[in-house]
Amino acid sequence: MKQYAVIMAGGRGERFWPAGRYAVPKQLLPLGGGNRTMIEDTVQRLFPLFAPENIIVATSEIYARTMKKLLPLPPENIISEPARRNTAGCIALAASFIKNREKDADVTVTVLPADHMITPVTAFHDTLTKAAEEAKKGGIVTIGVIPSRPDTAYGYINISDAVSEGVFKVKGFREKPDAVTARKYFLSGRHRWNSGIFVWKLDTIIQEISRYLPDWGEFIAKTSAAEDFNAAVAEHFSAGQSVSIDIGVLEKSGSITCVDASFYWNDLGSWSSLFELETPDEGGNVSRGRNILIDTRNSIVCSDDDTLVGVIGMRDVAVIKSGNGVLVCPLSEEQRVREITQSIAADTDLSDFL
């Protein structure tokens, strides 16, 4: 059975301002500490389990050109979403593209985000192979991460009976919980962090989309058989509703299993994620760039050029200087960084900062 991988890479860079901008979103940042961007790391991580011609990147039109230059993939495998339609639209587009190419071939598809940290690669491949074998039975498979702590920043998978070792039936999906609920989930042993990685047969996901999201099912029917695929997508894509695949399909489907991840996973959802990627100094700080920290504890301080950043007497804060922007906030408030990008977007005089 042929294997495809679909990388979802349409994010707009709202959580890592000022380093992340609409023109340079999170997936195009080298947040892992090296020189490669997150999307480059994600593609390299798929080799050699997937051949380059079987790796698809679904992204926004404004990022497609950059990714075609950046990635060692056939340029036609970088497909553009004509409008923002959340993960359901992204997955429907990719499913239609593969169906258009492979016709009636038997195909398994692994879908994953472009901007997560995963190590080691061997364990990642082992987990995906295990999930693909499970997906061949005809259901939807999700990869769950065993929680290492209560965390309110992640969605959760509620598991039930074991199907086999490390494979469970899924009872339901839970949105990001409050602190009390997150602790209950952690202590129960019956919840997993939702990694956002899914594996399914192509025919399975098309059937499920057609059942629960008929507008996207109609889109796939119209475009997957089109002689001019790109023209058909341009004509029909925007008519689909904007909804996540979790809400639109997964929460309604009755045939989902969860495979436990055997790898380390971090979705790098905020600046404080850097605490897990680097060894903090004696004060518990992570510092990148030219910085002087005095009597400062448990903070993230980053500067992307020769600007010298001095921080005195601070606790649990993020101080980020990147390009023409500076962010200062308590780490407890870092989930509100999107409010800054939204404020910038609403003010035409601030367009240079977006």
What does the alpha-carbon distance between residue 236 and residue 259 come to, in Å, rounded to a whole number? 35
For the chain, report the end-to-end CA distance as a whole number of angstroms: 44
pLDDT value of position 38? 96
> Poorest-confidence range of 74-78, 132-136, 337-341?
337-341
pLDDT value of position 93? 98
- Residue 11 binned pLDDT confidence (cut-offs 50, 70, 90): confident
How do residues 205-228 score in pLDDT, each as one tens digit?
999 999 999 999 999 999 999 999
What mean pLDDT comes out for the span 184-208? 97
Q: What is the mean pLDDT of the chain?
A: 95
- Residue 349 binned pLDDT confidence (cut-offs 50, 70, 90): confident
307 has pLDDT over 80: yes
What mean pLDDT comes out for the span 242-271? 94
34 has pLDDT over 80: no
Nearest alpha-carbon partner for 99 in 139, 66, 56: 56
13 has pLDDT over 90: no
How do residues 140-165 score in pLDDT, each as one tens digit?
999 999 999 999 989 999 999 999 99
What does the alpha-carbon distance between residue 260 and residue 146 come to, in Å, rounded to a whole number? 7
Nearest alpha-carbon partner for 155 in 113, 123, 122, 114: 113
- Residue 202 binned pLDDT confidence (cut-offs 50, 70, 90): very high
- Residue 254 binned pLDDT confidence (cut-offs 50, 70, 90): confident
What does the alpha-carbon distance between residue 39 and residue 59 come to, in Å, rounded to a whole number? 11
What mean pLDDT comes out for the span 303-315? 95
